[in-house]
Structure 1
Amino acid sequence: MLLLGLYLFFIVSLALASPLQKRACQNGPTSRNCWGSFSIDDDEHTIWPNTGVTREYTFTISETTEAPDGVSRPVMLVNGQYPGPTIEANWGDFVKVTVKNELRTNGTGIHWHGVRQLNSVYADGTAAVTECPIAPGRSHSYTWQATQHGTGWYHSHYSLQYSDGVVGAIVVNGPRTANYDTDLGPVILTDWYHKTAFKIATQALQNSLGLPPIQPNALINGKNVYHGKGSWSTFNFTPGKKHLLRLINTGSEVTFRFSIDDHELQVIAMDWVPIKPYTTKSITIAVGQRYDVIVDTKGKKSQDYWMRAVPQTSCLSLNLNALNVKAIVRYNAASTSDPKTLPKTLLDACVDEDPKNLVPYHVHDVGSAEVNENADSNLLDDPEKGFALRWFVGADPYYPHKNDPSAKKVMAGQSLPDEMSPMDIGHLGVNKWVYVIVQSWLPIAHPMHLHGHDTYILRQGASVYVDGLPINTKNPPRRDTVQLPASGHVVIAFKTDNPGTWLLHCHIAFHLHHGFARTVIEQQKLISGVYGSGRRAEMNHQCDAWSRSGLESRD
């Protein structure tokens, strides 16, 4: 009887236990916190599965014409589709992507946005920083481990290519901080031009305020309507179920406010970071950012609803179709009607979500700074380039040396020239904290992205930063892309735990193209060891092919 009583006590205790306390359970609609012998309680910053699985993809980058909103224009595509194929993996898998360049007069390369690349800086895919561009007719393979789980994206990091179509989503399946029934996959938001980004880039350069060009339209999952042409993307909801949507802003300049008429969003992750869930009616998402949200259909009418992505004009970015960036949510997949729902009145704001809501699930506190770096941004005449307007970050604008990337220079023992805008913290040891203060001196917001790290957001403010202002070091929001407020500042921190040369830059494509970046040199003595002799020889071979292409001077 005693043994029977103990057995019954164990069964009842297990049944009453919190789902987050259970281990070795299978991920499902009522146990999204589980992941086999792992769970959401395992901090992906320090531990991850080693599955032994490699997910392999081949990407061919080519030129063609496409009409995603009914207006035909030249594009550059991945495997002939827009957006490009979604990379899908499980937490702990390796991902191997072979990129073939079939462009006629452009190099290329793929960056895996927000992927930590822990001890794999060689796979970061950043032209002029970690590699030379892939020359026309050549190919290159990238391999990295999915140590994070959630939602990311990939894009070309060669000039303005991603604005012309070289983008796609990354989905890494893993445990979650809330339950849902169905994963509906990526919801890709982007502004859209009817001319190539290369043709319109000079408009931003010549504008005395540094404002990017006016966009005619924007797309959701590669579709929208423009002047009666084109079509809307469709998402099929199941009544009474909870649906996961993976929101990604792959745009060139626009901050969107996302919503679904008459629905709420439960936010469970920002970028690659799981957070404590919170509920909102809409969410702002800057260029490069991602949010994973759950939409509950319980109690909703079985009808068609509008999904909306409204460009925020307060970011001084003008979209001519701003009120009509839409997709359709259907509760009956057989329906062909246009929704009749109306939008709520929502605030137009060029800010990140309230940091009080963006609470990381895994608690990380930030230590004292070993180094403080300032990175003031301003738009100034560059006398060395015929007095063209360039974005200065600190003392110099960033000019990439595509045929002699930063990593190659550093491994050869060379110093980076001023025009590569170095932030040299290579002398610091392992696991030292670095604080970076970025100040915008113009009324323009900038989505700031640091490669190779999640940044800890210690402070954001719409004012000039002065010493002594309070900062939050107790489990602050952390993510790979943060909005620098217009005429304001952001204080970010990161730990020197990932040797490499990493780019810190504004993710407005035209701002980066015109100099808004710094090159971070981290743990300089360890970089050669990370590349190893084989990958270093491969980089040299790729650089030789690029030099022979004769395309170095091409934007």
Structure 2
Amino acid sequence: MTVVPPSRRPVLLVAVLCSLAFLLLAEGKVHHHTWDIEYRYKSPDCFEKLAVTINGEFPGPTIRATQGDTVVVTVNNHLETENTGIHWHGIRQRGSPWADGTVGVTQCPILPGETFTYRFVVDRAGTYFYHAHYGMQRVAGLDGMIVVSVPDGVAEPFAYDEEHTVLLMDWWHKSVYEQAVGLAQDPLVFVGEPQSLLINGRGSFNCGASAALPTLFTAVPGKTYRLQIGSLTSLSALNFEIEGHTMTVVEADGYYVSPVVVKSLFVYSGETYSVLVKADQDPSRNYWAASHVVGRERKTPSAVAVLRYHAGNDPRTPPPTAPPAGPVWNDTAARVQQSRSFVALPGGHVEPPPAKSDRTLLLLNTQNRIGDRVKWAINGVSLKFPATPYLVSMKRGLKGAYDQRPPADTYDYKNYNITSPAAANGTVASAAYRLALGSVVDVVLQNTAALNKKSETHPWHLHGHDFWVLGYGDGKFDPEEDAARFNVRDPVMKNTVALHPMGWTAIRFRADNPGVWLFHCHIEAHVYMGMGVVFEEGVDKVGRLPKSIMGCGRST
């Protein structure tokens, strides 16, 4: 054993303390937020109704942090008669699966009058969200953006002068309760089209000519702006554009992409993009920014805002032109083409995918009558969240808390007619896929016609992971032919991806994050009606569960 001489011990102690300080700094800062969640009367589109707010704000405040920082959010539920839970969309929760915020999967709900604290590390720079993940509560608000910057000294592969967030939403005047009751009854009463679209929490519903137009941002001629755009719509697929300006897409869901110049950007619920916009137009006037519904017959007015040039223009003065009309709502080919245009930025910015997978799941999306209700189902199973969160029951071995029979890995793809699925078929269950920890999994999502003979766009979001988008296709996926055309050279990585009408989408991910994770359609009505699956991987490797996530459902 080496003995340190007394004269050297103070020097050694200082060295150790300096090293510890360096490590603490290297781990990043800790950002503390305290949020009071409550209903307030709001008029985001000139129609007053109740909205779920954060400290009185709607939408909620933007969380800003640097890669490697820790975010701590203390949530006080003041909703009086309503539970809640908050999901940190795009944050992978490595080492903290209990902080994912998905009620029924990773935690019990936060009851009225209770306080719950989320603590997690933001381990990737990029643009993300937070939003309610209890029932259909997101329809009523409780959402916002998360912007994670690169560490000091790290250069991004593009340059800009300023950045601004653009949060896109849709908005109903019916309450969450009215919508949920309609979906659960027989005959089904669908939520209908939203009354308005919102840009950064502002929209228009019979506002009148005197209403002030919202300002997107104020531009200085010659400067380049990074817009961090995200959609938290509950139903609508959107197209976003800025009159007279092109946008260069440089980031998707936190990953750099090869730059793509677009006149307008298709954005699906749960997706985020960074685009670069140069203020290179006539600075003596203002310009429209607009958000339009696509993928559904356009019955909701477009949302508009004003891009104001900093040249003495009055921000209240509308542009001299008519607002952009947007693309035709049913041009599926244009939307698929844009989805296919995004690939990973070369130069080591995105990890290449494994050459092959260990397991393939072919997931058939169907709308069915199950019993006396209309449901959405995956391979014939409509997901029902158990009373005991999966993470709790699986970690504690409570096998009676959820359905033990695993869902099917595939369906009869050779004989199945995706244009005319069986109207009455399937079951309601709380089953889960058990994935080998560290395995590589391919998932192929297959779209079909719904009971109304129409096929919709379904944006699918995976909790706890990012995935490689291997490809999109029309019609029915054929494993023998279509898998050979997967893009394994430079696929973009994302956490949310569109499943286009009457087509398929293929993704690949590593099941390397111990926990239990939801994979679901990000349309609120669809996941409420069962359109999702649950993945478990390495739950035995998860550390001691916090008591705060327990207390509901079964204990034995």
- Short-chain TM bin: 0.7 to 0.9
User: Partners in 2 of 1:99 and 1:357 — Cα distance?
Assistant: 37
1:346 aligned partner: 327
1:480 aligned partner: 495
Structure 1 residue runs of 5 or longer lacking an equivalent are 1-48, 549-555
Structure 2-normalised TM-score?
0.82
2:533 aligned partner: 518
Q: What amino acid maps onto 1:282 in structure 2? A: S
2:179 aligned partner: 200
Structure 2 residue runs of 5 or longer lacking an equivalent are 1-24, 406-427, 450-454
2:214 aligned partner: 233
2:470 aligned partner: 458
2:382 aligned partner: 397
- What's the CA shift string for 1:207-264, capped at 9, x where partnerless? 9899651111111001122213454320111111111111110110111111100001
Describe the shift of the 1:388–1:379 C-alpha distance in structure 2 as closer, same or farther (beyond 3 A): same
User: Partners in 2 of 1:287 and 1:210 — Cα distance?
Assistant: 22
Shift of 1:507: 0.3
1:408 aligned partner: 392
Shift of 1:319: 3.4
Alignment of 1:350-365 (within 5 A): 350=332, 351=335, 353-360=338-345, 361-365=349-353
Alignment of 1:102-501 (within 5 A): 102-174=78-150, 175-184=155-164, 186-204=165-183, 212-229=191-208, 231-234=212-215, 235-312=217-294, 315-316=295-296, 318-322=298-302, 325-332=303-310, 335=314, 336-342=316-322, 343=324, 346-348=327-329, 349-350=331-332, 351=335, 353-360=338-345, 361-383=349-371, 387-401=372-386, 403-415=387-399, 416-417=402-403, 419-426=428-435, 428-430=436-438, 432-442=439-449, 443-468=455-480, 469=482, 470-501=485-516
- What's the CA shift string for 1:26-60, capped at 9, x where partnerless? xxxxxxxxxxxxxxxxxxxxxxx944310111111
2:28 aligned partner: 52
1:538 aligned partner: 548
1:67 aligned partner: 43
Shift of 1:382: 1.7
Q: What amino acid maps onto 2:222 in structure 1? A: G
User: Partners in 1 of 2:181 and 2:111 — Cα distance?
Assistant: 25
Number of residue pairs aligned between Structure 1 and Structure 2? 481
Shift of 1:374: 2.2
Shift of 1:492: 1.2
Shift of 1:299: 4.9
State the SS of the aligned residue for 1:482: strand
Describe the shift of the 1:358–1:302 C-alpha distance in structure 2 as closer, same or farther (beyond 3 A): farther
1:553 aligned partner: none
Query: Percent identity between the aligned chains?
Result: 29
State the SS of the aligned residue for 1:225: coil
Shift of 1:316: 2.5
Q: What amino acid maps onto 2:471 in structure 1? A: R
User: Partners in 2 of 1:195 and 1:444 — Cα distance?
Assistant: 23
User: Partners in 1 of 2:267 and 2:183 — Cα distance?
Assistant: 22
Shift of 1:328: 0.6
Describe the shift of the 1:169–1:279 C-alpha distance in structure 2 as closer, same or farther (beyond 3 A): same
State the SS of the aligned residue for 2:340: coil
Conserved? CA contact 1:243–1:295, under 8 Å = yes
User: Partners in 1 of 2:145 and 2:363 — Cα distance?
Assistant: 30
User: Partners in 2 of 1:210 and 1:367 — Cα distance?
Assistant: 46
Taking only aligned residues, the RMSD between alpha carbons, in angstroms, comes to 2.3
- What's the CA shift string for 1:79-112, capped at 9, x where partnerless? 1111101111111111111111011111111100
Conserved? CA contact 2:244–2:281, under 8 Å = no
User: Partners in 2 of 1:213 and 1:358 — Cα distance?
Assistant: 35
Matched, 1:79 2:86: no
Structure 1-normalised TM-score?
0.82
Shift of 1:266: 1.3
